[in-house]
Chains A and B, each alone.
Chain A
């Protein structure tokens, strides 16, 4: 049994049968991190003492027959913008290099209550935005499938650590695709839940209106298990939605008869995509059809429209967040983040308002689509992982993003692996989205696809 690549579901079964213990699993993963992470730099800080203490507590409770839930005894990592009481939370930035929060983020509180085991704080692009940067106190994380490539961003550490078998699950954040992008290029699963489904309290903001917190795992089933623990209303988060949390695992299983899916035209198949992507998406569509779903074409606004709308809003809010530091210590930001923040100072109020009004219109066009179909599908990345080149130009604005449409609309969207590029052997990924609060539909489709394929069971070799 290779502990490194056991899923949350498999670990739970192993605990039930007393085949493994949380302490045994945690020690094995800590050893693996110590042996291999110097090649990937996915961790900013390994919290070994915390992990062993929490593992011993979980083990004692499980041995006593007390099961807190699906995350009990499960090791996890946190993107290092998620605040942890008494443990530095740096944002991967010189500006917060020595910041030690006094309180846990709400999701950390929920994970502690659920018996999770914090293994460490994970690399990110600077403040979940500026990257890949090579001029920060810590190096950028590398992609476990090819260390000369990057793991995407901004949840770069979570993507690399989960794919490398360092943790079965990590918490990422997603403003324009920062969960789904890294999940896509690292060959794992990543869910951006509905805006307001998971509390943002205690997570350093990237924007005020587009930040989402979500799980990154190696299967859709594990996404469901983690989401069950972290989802729910938080009255202290102004964006939190007060609506019931369904049983996400109950939605898994069975075929897909009766489900209607819209394949968005002009997104994954627009010029500039990797040549193997189109055939991979076509094959995924065939699998979903074989499981009983009907697939029809869907038309939405262009990726350029969605990217312009999202980025105008997000850089304006980003500047508001960092204005004071930018005025007083601009040299302490990495070059890429500084040059992404500064434009926000020049966005006029009427431009920001125009983008916010456009956002309503773009979100509404998706609601109209979801009245016709249960889910929309496309790719989760238009290309394979980028090379790790320090002087590569910043492509945030020049390259339209295939994840931003569902950031603009705030609907749930998952990335799951759907193949590998032939020449480079790098992961390709499918993206599935559904109407607000329909995470169960997204997970049902993703799980059914993963029951019929084995892309998610392929793992990178780290030179063992």
Chain B
């Protein structure tokens, strides 16, 4: 069975407003209402991401300092 976060309850409109405020974004009410209608799809998506990968399973990017020097 996949280890993910789909068991969590969806955020309420008030919680979404609080998250947007905490992100430092001040939306007019009309735009906020559009976003409150949009966010649940994205929230469900993020919660489907599998968790608990092994420590050696690294992210799909690398930091290569030699490239920064134009090597």
Interface residues of A in 281-337 (CB under 8 A from B): 304, 308-309, 311-312, 315, 326-327, 330-331, 335
Q: Which chain B residues border A308 with CB–CB below 8 Å?
A: 45-46, 48-49
Option from B38, B58, B59, B68 in Cβ contact (under 8 Å) with A343: B38
**How big is the B interface, by class?**
20 to 34
Chain A residues with CB under 8 Å of chain B are: 209, 235, 238, 304, 308-309, 311-312, 315, 326-327, 330-331, 335, 338-339, 342-343, 345-347, 351, 353-361, 363, 394, 397-398
Please name 5 further chain A to chain B contacts, defined as beta carbons within 8 Å, in addition to the given A339-B35, A343-B39, sorted by A numbering: A326-B25, A331-B31, A354-B49, A394-B38, A397-B42
Contact check, A209 vs B61: say whether CB atoms are below 8 A apart.
Answer: yes
Contact check, A338 vs B31: say whether CB atoms are below 8 A apart.
Answer: yes
Contact check, B35 vs A342: say whether CB atoms are below 8 A apart.
Answer: yes
Interface of A is mostly: helix
Chain B residues with CB under 8 Å of chain A are: 16, 19-20, 23-28, 31, 34-35, 38-39, 41-43, 45-46, 48-51, 53, 57-61, 67-68, 70
Q: Which chain A residues border B26 with CB–CB below 8 Å?
A: 327
Q: Which chain B residues border A345 with CB–CB below 8 Å?
A: 20, 23, 25
Contact check, B51 vs A354: say whether CB atoms are below 8 A apart.
Answer: yes
With A346-B23, A394-B38 known as contacts, the answer to whether A312 contacts B49 (CB < 8 A) is yes
Contact check, B60 vs A360: say whether CB atoms are below 8 A apart.
Answer: yes
Contact check, B41 vs A397: say whether CB atoms are below 8 A apart.
Answer: yes
Q: Which chain B residues border A356 with CB–CB below 8 Å?
A: 59-61
Q: A311 to B34, alpha carbons, bound, how many Å?
A: 19
Contact check, A353 vs B59: say whether CB atoms are below 8 A apart.
Answer: yes
Contact check, A343 vs B42: say whether CB atoms are below 8 A apart.
Answer: yes
Q: Which chain A residues border B60 with CB–CB below 8 Å?
A: 209, 356-357, 359-360, 363
Q: Which 7 A-B pairs have the closest CB atoms?
A: A356-B59, A343-B42, A359-B60, A345-B23, A397-B41, A339-B38, A360-B60
Q: Which chain A residues border B34 with CB–CB below 8 Å?
A: 335, 338-339
Q: A361 to B16, alpha carbons, bound, how many Å?
A: 31
Contact check, A351 vs B31: say whether CB atoms are below 8 A apart.
Answer: no
Q: Which of B34, B48, B58, B59 is most buried by chain A, counting CB atoms within 10 A of its CB?
A: B59
Q: Which chain A residues border B45 with CB–CB below 8 Å?
A: 308, 311-312, 397
With A315-B42, A326-B25, A342-B38 known as contacts, the answer to whether A354 contacts B50 (CB < 8 A) is yes
Contact check, A347 vs B57: say whether CB atoms are below 8 A apart.
Answer: no
Q: How far is the CB of B60 from chain A (nearest CB, A)?
A: 4
Option from B20, B28, B43, B49 in Cβ contact (under 8 Å) with A331: B28
Q: Which chain A residues border B20 with CB–CB below 8 Å?
A: 342, 345-346
Option from B25, B39, B46, B59 in Cβ contact (under 8 Å) with A360: B59
Q: A327 to B27, alpha carbons, bound, how many Å?
A: 8
Q: Which chain B residues border A343 with CB–CB below 8 Å?
A: 38-39, 42
Q: A326 to B61, alpha carbons, bound, how many Å?
A: 26
Closest to A355 in B: B49
With A308-B45, A339-B35, A354-B49 known as contacts, the answer to whether A327 contacts B59 (CB < 8 A) is no
Q: Which chain B residues border A330 with CB–CB below 8 Å?
A: 25, 27-28, 31
Contact check, A361 vs B53: say whether CB atoms are below 8 A apart.
Answer: yes
Q: A360 to B60, alpha carbons, bound, how many Å?
A: 5
Q: A326 to B49, alpha carbons, bound, how many Å?
A: 26
Contact check, A360 vs B51: say whether CB atoms are below 8 A apart.
Answer: no
Q: How far is the CB of A30 from chain B (nearest CB, A)?
A: 41
Q: A379 to B46, alpha carbons, bound, how many Å?
A: 26
Contact check, B41 vs A398: say whether CB atoms are below 8 A apart.
Answer: yes
With A338-B31, A353-B59 known as contacts, the answer to whether A235 contacts B41 (CB < 8 A) is no
Q: Which of B39, B46, B61, B70 is most buried by chain A, counting CB atoms within 10 A of its CB?
A: B46
Q: A145 to B45, alpha carbons, bound, how many Å?
A: 34
Contact check, B39 vs A357: say whether CB atoms are below 8 A apart.
Answer: no
Q: A353 to B49, alpha carbons, bound, how many Å?
A: 10
Q: How far is the CB of B49 from chain A (nearest CB, A)?
A: 5
Contact check, A358 vs B42: say whether CB atoms are below 8 A apart.
Answer: no
Closest to B53 in A: A357
Contact check, B57 vs A361: say whether CB atoms are below 8 A apart.
Answer: yes
Closest to B46 in A: A351
Contact check, A358 vs B53: say whether CB atoms are below 8 A apart.
Answer: yes
